Amino acid sequence: MSITVQDLHFSYGTRPILTGIDLTVEPGESVALVGVNGCGKSTLLRLIAGLLEPSSGRILLDGAELASLSRRQVAQRLAVLHQSLPPVPGLTVRRLVRQGRYPHRGPLGLLRESDSVDEALELAGVAHLADRVLDTLSGGERQRVRLALAVAQDTRILLLDEPTAHLDIRHQLQVLDLVRTLRAARGLTVVTVLHELDHAARFAERIVALHGGRVRADGRPADVITPDLLAEVFGVAGRVVIDELHGTPRCLLDAAL
């Protein structure tokens, strides 16, 4: 399922955040949104998810106008992995993941669960946590459970807002590896907001860098991540080398500008 953003503008009150964004994400593509804090990465993700309304412009999901779709129809097309979940005391992993099936309610509101919940738990590697209460899980475990919730929703688009936030290095790599595995297994279109450029280069096929409310660069990691980009978009002086093991760019940061 594709995503098309056409001449998108968005402001908070009188403060413009995004100006004239044009972006197309092809079916099955993995795209990382990068940029400094406040550049509009998460805002763009929330606009694509239908959680915010643009000031002007269009968003299409596989050719269908996002503005014309009901919340249920949007939820049948895309799943969003937020940075956190609201606390629900006593909620078990299985009960949470089961919530992902609600966009697929049948006649009379009956839940079409079938084997989707168990499959989502298995794919996300949290089947052994199914009966655990969420409050007892580690940060890395909770993030994998949130991924299971998104998988259970059974959509073709997955939007992730900083999925590695507040995780240690080991769990960051586990979560990003899991997203890559799920994408391959389900043929998902994935758009991820990431802070770490090295992670973006390694785990995404394409990088879109935002700066000043606009798309500053868009393309393959090797083409996008350059010393000029580090200086202009991130305000740092640095060098870019190629990782011999993975064949992807890595940033060596020297100084703030």
Give tens-digit pLDDT for 169-185: 999 999 999 999 999 98
Q: 102: pLDDT confidence band, cut at 50, 70 and 90?
A: confident
Read off the pTM. Answer: 0.92
Q: Residue 173: in which H helix or E strand, if any?
A: helix 169-186
The rounded percent of the chain whose pLDDT value lies above 90 is 77
- Specify whether the CB–CB gap between 192 and 160 falls below 8 A: yes
Q: Where are the domains of the chain?
A: 3-256
| Topology given in CATH for the domain delimited by 3-256 | Rossmann fold (3.40.50)
Q: If you average pLDDT over residues 199-212, what whole number do you get?
A: 97
DSSP assignments along 38-94, one per residue:
TSSHHHHHHHHTTSS--SEEEEEETTEEGGGS-HHHHHHHEEEE-S-----TT-BHH
- For the stretch 11-45, pLDDT in tens is 998 999 999 999 999 999 999 999 999 999 999 99
**Residue 106 predicted with pLDDT over 60:** no
- For the stretch 63-90, pLDDT in tens is 999 999 999 999 999 999 987 766 778 8
Q: If you average pLDDT over residues 252-256, what whole number do you get?
A: 97
